[in-house]
């Protein structure tokens, strides 16, 4: 961490970001609302992370302002947990016709929260925000789950870090509209990148296409395969 730019206690605020649409928009909005914002990226060894992190670093650079602290990259490898899972191997990646449940990563939010909350506790940051949307179908995205994590992780260190979900009552389209004017071309959503580009065929690329279409916004993404969007 740059010693010239340190978190500043109660005024400091962290955003857990992957560089996808929702978390990038949340980061941009947080910079406008808080005096000191720290973007956190957790690297777990997933197949798409190199390209994802490259996009995120460029997005953060574009958002540069006095309120925005340097991107913090935290390590949390999951190879010993996931083994030969598609998220690590890049093989048999869920395609655009797959259900949302196909991209569920077991324990993902639990691991992300443990790492990010402990970072906040150790650096005097009062809260960490996630871009969890309304009607998220996964078991680690319920209000009860987040409340329990906040309590248990804080209890384990005698901490007081808050877990915030400012988008939990919003739909994808509502969040997209909040991102109008942002460099959304620098966000990244793909789980099977081809080179440095969105593949255009995976589950998350299909979700990304639908998000822009449903919001009535032009999609600036350069997909490797130009498939028509199906709503």
DSSP output for 183-201: -GGG----SS-BTTBB-SS
The rounded distance, in Å, linking the Cα atoms of 162 and 138 is: 21
* Neighbour-count burial of 23, counting CB atoms closer than 10 A to its CB (0-12 exposed, 13-18 middle, 19+ buried): buried
Phi, psi of 115 (to 5 degrees): -70, -45
Is 67 contained in some domain?
yes
CA 24 to chain centre: 7
Count how many Cα atoms sit within 13 Å of the Cα of residue 213 in the half-sphere of its side chain.
10
Give me the pLDDT at residue 137, please.
83
How many angstroms separate the Cα of 108 from the Cα of each of 185, 187, 226? 26, 20, 30
* 3-class state of residue 22 by DSSP: helix
Over its length of 231 residues, how does the chain's per-residue pLDDT go in tens digits?
443 456 655 578 999 999 999 999 999 999 999 999 999 999 999 999 999 999 999 999 999 999 999 999 999 999 999 999 999 999 999 999 999 899 999 999 999 999 999 999 999 999 999 999 998 888 999 999 999 999 999 999 999 999 999 999 999 999 999 999 999 999 999 999 999 999 999 999 999 999 999 999 999 999 998 765 444
Please tell me whether the overall predicted TM-score, pTM, comes out greater than 0.85 for this model.
yes
Is 143 contained in some domain?
yes
Q: How many domains does the chain have?
A: 1
Is 43 contained in some domain?
yes
The rounded distance, in Å, linking the Cα atoms of 24 and 38 is: 12
Give me the pLDDT at residue 11, please.
73
Give me the pLDDT at residue 6, please.
61
Is 1 contained in some domain?
no
* 3-class state of residue 13 by DSSP: strand
Is 228 contained in some domain?
no
What is the span of the domain harbouring residue 145? 9-214
DSSP output for 150-174: HHHHHHHHT---EEE-TTTT--HHH
* CATH number of the domain that residue 113 is part of: 3.40.50.620
Return the number of other C-beta atoms located less than 10 Å from residue 194's C-beta.
14
Residue 213 is encoded by which pair of tokens? 């279409």
Beta strand extents in 17-92 (DSSP E only): 36-43, 72-75
Phi, psi of 39 (to 5 degrees): -75, 130
Is 209 contained in some domain?
yes
Phi, psi of 107 (to 5 degrees): 75, 10
Is 81 contained in some domain?
yes
Return the number of other C-beta atoms located less than 10 Å from residue 173's C-beta.
16
Query: Do 223 and 197 form a contact (C-beta atoms < 8 A)?
Result: yes
Is 226 contained in some domain?
no
């Amino acid at each position: 961490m740059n010693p010239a730019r340190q978190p500043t206690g109660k005024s400091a605020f962290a955003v857990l970001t992957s560089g996808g649409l929702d978390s990038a928009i949340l980061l941009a909005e947080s910079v406008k609302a808080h005096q000191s914002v720290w973007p956190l990226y957790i690297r777990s060894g997933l197949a798409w992370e190199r390209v994802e992190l490259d996009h995120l670093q460029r997005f953060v650079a574009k958002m540069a302002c006095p309120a925005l602290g340097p991107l913090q990259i935290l390590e949390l490898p999951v190879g010993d947990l996931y083994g030969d899972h598609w998220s690590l191997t890049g093989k048999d990646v869920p395609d655009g016709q797959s259900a949302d449940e196909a991209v569920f990563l077991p324990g993902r939010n639990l691991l992300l929260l443990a790492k990010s909350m402990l970072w906040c506790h150790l650096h005097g940051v009062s809260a960490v925000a996630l871009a969890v949307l309304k009607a998220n179908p996964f078991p680690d995205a319920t209000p009860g789950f987040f409340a329990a994590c906040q309590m248990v992780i804080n209890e384990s260190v005698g901490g007081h870090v808050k877990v915030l979900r400012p988008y939990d009552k919003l739909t994808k389209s509502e969040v997209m509209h909040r991102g109008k004017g942002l460099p959304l071309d620098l966000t990244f959503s793909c789980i099977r990148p081809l080179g440095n580009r969105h593949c255009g065929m995976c589950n998350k690329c299909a979700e990304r296409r639908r998000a822009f279409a449903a919001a009535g916004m032009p999609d600036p993404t350069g997909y490797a395969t130009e498939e028509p969007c199906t709503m």
